[in-house]
Structure 1
């Protein structure tokens, strides 16, 4: 790869350069969340004396901001500090998956797999391949954040392209295209169930199909791949040519040709991986499978299969990694396996520090009701405008995108907004299915530019592996073109899709009453 002479701290000019310079002046992410925690405490204290007329859909009563500086709140906060951290979902998800990935990487399995893949994938198709794999990872909930995004950097670096461009492409697919997927995912029934709750406020008999947006999200995956492909190759990577790759490159896989031992090890490891997937498929297929929940579903969040995704990823890399090492001779004892796990955990130290403070901020922000206040007041303001239906749809997309910068959870936001948006638009003749589709566009498009998203600091760490000076501003500036393009193009696509009358999903409609 041709090395450049500039560093992220000497960012190029223009709007993106300004975003990068300003963003990199923001304090370290850990300090940022400490400051935000204090801001939440002070705001909750001040706003706890204000009476709000907006109704909290969770209680049916006027929303109340809870003072987090009150004695009882502070003692509760201190008592929950440990469990806030240990029970914070991104922590366990990342660490458990990294144990298996660490063995697969240290044994050389990932390295050999990348060599084989690069041998059959044309260089020109690397970008759409990375983006598309990122989109497919949604079927495994948050697996893409710990698997696809770092591999995106490795793949691009191995191909002689800038690794940060690979990370950006993967991040765009995994997070920016979160609601685009050609395969059903656990997100579909979760959002549909909340939509039905909102619709039930006006119509107790309405039934929302879990795949009510499936056709739209499937076609949207093609749009996201095309947009991300163009932005990565034509906007991001040319700009990154001025950014020097100065990370600890000695730890990265060497992408020479596969040796005989590697070929044997890879064949054996892939055989084990395929065998594992076949066993999983055969055990999940029967109607009475233990992988299914009480309703017989495999894709609901309550199903053992969905709840075991991280464990399955751990095994999916651990077992082939061990087999590869034994066959190729890179693992000679159990100490080598444990050493690989240990090395992967050593790289997660900084991430754990950041996650500790993020977990405390998220707890305080949620229990104070500040996030709920922001979402509900915005929804009420949109309702009061009484705009035409297509302008209202655009308004929902934009409001959702704005709220998403502060409230990251897709289910948490929709749990708050669905009881407002869905019945409000039903009175305008807009179906719950279309309202949900608009929400999904706004929710996805701004994921990749908010440092408040729990996985954002993890992506910064991935970037620092290649470019030591990477900061929040570097990543935000890199992802901003994706976010703006997705927001505009995807919203336009939704409106055009609506005008064509193509079905949104299974048993879905555009109007209410359905017609």
Structure 2
């Protein structure tokens, strides 16, 4: 793409605007300041609503009242500690850090791509990209350069390999064939938002699984078609050799095979152990014998957080011991420490996000706005699919300028989750629609955290590859994924399909 083209100039302008945005911490500070001002005005104006379940009249409360100021200053540690996603994501990361740093995630992605025929390279790499969502940033630094080399070795354009890998890792981030860390984080935020109307419904890390898995399976042939019929023909033929040093295994093939074999056995043992705890006659601590229906499985769903942590920790440890990356228990502790260190930015944002959500609850603005907003939406007589598609489009627009999905959801969830609950939409379905919208522009916005990393990886193959070049490369995927997600959200809610185990698309608390 010419450097002086109108498209390039517009993309440069978008990049400057994105870089001019404040840090998410200061975005939350701004939201808190706005929330305080709105709460004061709402209290003065007497904003209120009648709770559709209890019949109680809810009134807006000023955050500058003596009671709320006292809560802010005396409950600050509790507010931070009680932020639902905080404990969940830190527990899972303890194990994921070991699996990543021991080389297990890298080995799984590398081994999975060997022996794949030229014809099926695109769907195979996209599938590995979907599965690599558990590997966090390891997928970017391992799978993307690996895909470029595999495509070049097969006589195909390396940028087509970069494109399909990036699409699977980031563009299809709303698709998850295997639930993991991000599901825990997002549904934790959703649960705290749903609690603004009263006791939160049962939410679990599998709450979006049916939707995300279906989305992933549908996107495999769609992105295959886009890559092989639209993206790669535009790139032409590549004849240059690959740059040096783009692919280095951390272990020799024999050790890698031994480590993966032992890690696989460990994974089966852990899965069997959890099955025993849920199914063993007379001893089923993961089943609530006193409950009925899906509620019986609530202990099992809650245990999945510990399950993911143990799975990653044990399998990563065993793999590392086999290949030599883990020589003693001290290495494991060091990996866990380093993994939690990478969560420091999240911890800083979580402090302010926790206070925003808590202050939102203290002000009563959430339920008041939700009830009145739901009443207005109901008067418009919009179909449920239309409401969720509007949410999807709104989150996709925000994704162009704010990179953090959890930060955006922390700000939006206290409003949209209760509002749509009152209109009969389950919290899980609302979360799925938001996640779909949030992932559409991940691969074409320069403000995305890994956009620059992918750009640098591409520049190893062509030094003049620019921002506009990467956006032009990925835009067909972004359009295809967005249209697919929009249609799927409409179809899912129109047919009222369950979003996950024990998670219907509709919620049994509509307005009377």
Shorter-chain TM-score tier: 0.5 to 0.7
1:165: how far off? 7.0
Three-state SS of the structure 1 residue aligned to 2:77 is helix
The C-alpha deviation readout for 1:185-232, integer Å capped at 9, x for no partner, is 9999xx9xx99xx9xxxxxxxxxxxx9999988755544555566778
Seen in structure 2, the aligned counterparts of structure 1 residues 132 and 213 have a Cα distance that, compared at 3 Å, is: closer
Q: Distance in 2 between matches of 1:483 and 1:54?
A: 41
**Matching residue of 1:169:** 168
Seen in structure 2, the aligned counterparts of structure 1 residues 179 and 363 have a Cα distance that, compared at 3 Å, is: farther
Please, which runs of 5 or more residues in structure 1 have no aligned partner?
Answer: 135-143, 199-210, 240-249, 423-431, 452-458, 511-515
Q: Distance in 1 between matches of 2:220 and 2:378?
A: 34
Question: Where do residues 268-307 of structure 1 align in structure 2 (5 Å cutoff)?
Answer: 268-286=262-280, 289-294=284-289, 303-307=298-302
Seen in structure 2, the aligned counterparts of structure 1 residues 492 and 108 have a Cα distance that, compared at 3 Å, is: closer
Q: Distance in 1 between matches of 2:347 and 2:207?
A: 38
1:151 and 2:139 matched: yes
Seen in structure 2, the aligned counterparts of structure 1 residues 84 and 112 have a Cα distance that, compared at 3 Å, is: same
1:76: how far off? 0.3
Three-state SS of the structure 2 residue aligned to 1:159 is helix
Question: Where do residues 310-459 of structure 1 align in structure 2 (5 Å cutoff)?
Answer: 310-386=305-381, 392-401=383-392, 408=410, 416-417=418-419, 420-422=422-424, 442-448=433-439
* Number of equivalent positions: 434
Q: Distance in 1 between matches of 2:207 and 2:102?
A: 44
The C-alpha deviation readout for 1:41-72, integer Å capped at 9, x for no partner, is 12111122123364333643344222112222
Q: Distance in 2 between matches of 1:179 and 1:63?
A: 41
Q: 2:61 aligns with which of 54, 58, 66?
A: 66
**Matching residue of 1:35:** 30
Q: Distance in 2 between matches of 1:372 and 1:509?
A: 21
Q: Distance in 1 between matches of 2:487 and 2:298?
A: 35
1:267 and 2:287 matched: no
Query: Does the aligned pair in 1 maintain the 2:123–2:221 contact within 8 Å?
Result: no
Seen in structure 2, the aligned counterparts of structure 1 residues 115 and 415 have a Cα distance that, compared at 3 Å, is: closer
Query: Does the aligned pair in 1 maintain the 2:392–2:486 contact within 8 Å?
Result: no
**Matching residue of 2:127:** 129
Three-state SS of the structure 2 residue aligned to 1:119 is coil
Q: Distance in 1 between matches of 2:141 and 2:232?
A: 12
Q: With structure 1 as the length reference, what TM-score do the two structures score? A: 0.65
109-118 or 159-168, which moves further after superposition?
Answer: 159-168
Query: Does the aligned pair in 2 maintain the 1:276–1:316 contact within 8 Å?
Result: yes
CA RMSD of aligned residues (A): 5.3
The C-alpha deviation readout for 1:313-360, integer Å capped at 9, x for no partner, is 221122122222322233222222222222223322223222222222
Seen in structure 2, the aligned counterparts of structure 1 residues 230 and 88 have a Cα distance that, compared at 3 Å, is: farther
1:27: how far off? 0.6
Seen in structure 2, the aligned counterparts of structure 1 residues 131 and 260 have a Cα distance that, compared at 3 Å, is: closer
Seen in structure 2, the aligned counterparts of structure 1 residues 481 and 393 have a Cα distance that, compared at 3 Å, is: farther
Q: Distance in 1 between matches of 2:96 and 2:209?
A: 31
Please, which runs of 5 or more residues in structure 2 have no aligned partner?
Answer: 149-158, 198-205, 235-244, 399-407, 457-466, 507-512
